[in-house]
A and B are shown apart, each in its own frame.
Chain A
């Protein structure tokens, strides 16, 4: 028997299949490396392509509030503020609501109600953002956001955040509230899964000590699942920071720096999406938009790292075998 014929024996064929492991390992490694490379490539490109404005205006783009592309004035402060403001307000609205939904679905509702309602909540995530925008402008803003704004102005109007006139249709509050609706399914679905993953024994331990449901949820379940809930918040915040379409449609695209939630404003993603067509003719304009993209990228990166750190710090307190 020569070596050449041995190559085609069934045994050898099996061996080769096993050596497919090497190929498979290489494939998965490549796929994983691609993720890293893509992130690096995006960061690098954003950095290079924004060279013009970075050199011409230095930090002015971040700290100046004057946005007038035809006069080559590129101050993105109103948009940076708008992005952070709408995202954080959205989170502030969506977190208690989402947590409430999660607790109801996981702890209180019967299996049938939990399944049905859970499905509906997840369906909210499937609605295209342009539909949210359209509904926001014509239905949600006039019927719900405007009265809310008027209410806030009447009672806490002395705060800069709720000062100024109440815009009937377009406002940062409308954008925040639409964003809250859009991140609600993420926060509630992930938190619900977190609650459902908490061992029964933890609940029973508290209940057997005469704790009420409320005490069990607040003192035992939420601390236990905190790292998972923080994870849900990160996912929600990530979506809110980057959301473009619905925000552009309801925020009113006002380029002035105004503190108030009740007036129209803009966000970085809304400006980039709204103006990249006009920017094609001007190097400075295009560079300014790309630099804004870079800022958005960096903010998201920092927030994610910060949130990871929080998750890690919380998770460290719970041994691995009990981690949700």
Chain B
């Protein structure tokens, strides 16, 4: 039995919340993506049940919740990566600037160009650093000097340029894990997506590399809409503007329990389930 009271445990996040520039929550912003009555099935198993939430533009939205509650699955419905797995089905709508990305006429390739992704484990291609970043722009037909500029700018924006500018022709796999992940961020922003999805981007990184990725997210926020899935609640408290808490319903399907400004979710949650999870009384 833990001696601390829930209210005291909440103070664990005080410092993290203080470090988080919160002014973004009060100023109003557009809704970039709208998830409406979303259900996702693996075969007959419903992994996500009736999720409805709004993702604000130029903000960082964190999705937290216990393992297996469907956080990553939900994230992957936002750029239609979920459907790559066989026997899956998506129901409901996901609006990107008011357009349903699951619409029959929607080109999935275009959706993924607008909604980029960074994965849990760094996954650079076994190609030179330059070619890794240049991959997306090249698909769009960018060549020559323009391409070099985009690569440099992307690497700068990903806070990696100074570390790699002298070895752009070495393999991306020769970098450290943290550098590889920033390379993956550079690769993702090289095609100027509107939204960046991050699926536990720091899960395979040490604290220093994690810190750098978090810094990066805060600087990217002004230009991109970021959605991050994280297991690390300190991280959610440090960087995100809004937090979505997911949990499993009795049928083991993921449901959205509560969505709100990060500070409110961490200090004054409205649902007892959220408070239980945040104070560690979960399960």
Contacts and interface: CB of A to CB of B under 8 A. Distances in A.
A93 interface: no
A201 B84 contact: no
Interface stretch (B18-26, B183-191, B245-253): B183-191
A209 B86 contact: no
Interface in A179-213: 199, 201-212
Chain A interface size, as a band, is 20 to 34
A162 interface: no
Given A205-B119, A322-B173, A210 B112 contact: yes
A317 B172 CA distance: 11
Q: Is the interface of A mostly helix, strand, loop or mixed?
A: helix
Nearest to A219: B135
13 contacts: A201-B119, A204-B119, A204-B123, A207-B81, A208-B119, A209-B116, A209-B136, A210-B109, A211-B135, A223-B126, A224-B126, A317-B126, A322-B126
A215 interface: yes
B14 interface: no
A206 to B, nearest CB: 7
B139 A205 contact: no
B113 interface: yes
B184 A205 contact: yes
- The 5 lowest CB-CB distance pairs between A and B, nearest first, are A210-B113, A201-B123, A208-B117, A209-B136, A205-B123
Interface of B: 79, 81, 84, 86, 109-110, 112-113, 116-117, 119, 121, 123-127, 135-136, 139-140, 171, 173, 184, 187-188, 191
A110 interface: yes
A205 B191 CA distance: 13
A318 interface: yes
Given A204-B81, A319-B173, A210 B123 contact: no
A223 B173 CA distance: 15
Nearest to A110: B86
Max chain B CB contacts within 10 Å: which of A205, A215, A318? A205
A40 interface: no
Nearest to B174: A319
Given A199-B123, A319-B173, A208 B81 contact: yes
B117 to A, nearest CB: 4
A220 interface: yes
Contacts of B79: 208
Interface in A293-323: 317-319, 322
Interface in A36-64: none
Given A207-B81, A322-B173, A202 B86 contact: no
Contacts of B187: 205, 209
Contact of A209 (B110, B139, B171): B139
Contacts of B135: 206, 209, 211, 219
A208 B79 CA distance: 8
A210 B117 CA distance: 10
Nearest to A211: B139
Contacts of B113: 209-210
A111 B117 CA distance: 27
Max chain A CB contacts within 10 Å: which of B110, B119, B140? B119
Contacts of B139: 209-211, 215
Contacts of B117: 204, 208
B247 to A, nearest CB: 26
A203 B123 CA distance: 10
B112 A209 contact: yes
Contacts of B123: 199, 201-202, 204-205
Contacts of A223: 126-127
A215 B113 CA distance: 14
Contact of B125 (A111, A202, A210): A202
A203 B188 CA distance: 14
A203 B112 CA distance: 13
B126 A210 contact: no
A224 B117 CA distance: 21
A317 B171 contact: yes
A226 to B, nearest CB: 10
A211 B113 CA distance: 8
A212 B140 CA distance: 11
B109 A111 contact: no
Given A202-B123, A204-B119, A205-B123, A210 B188 contact: no
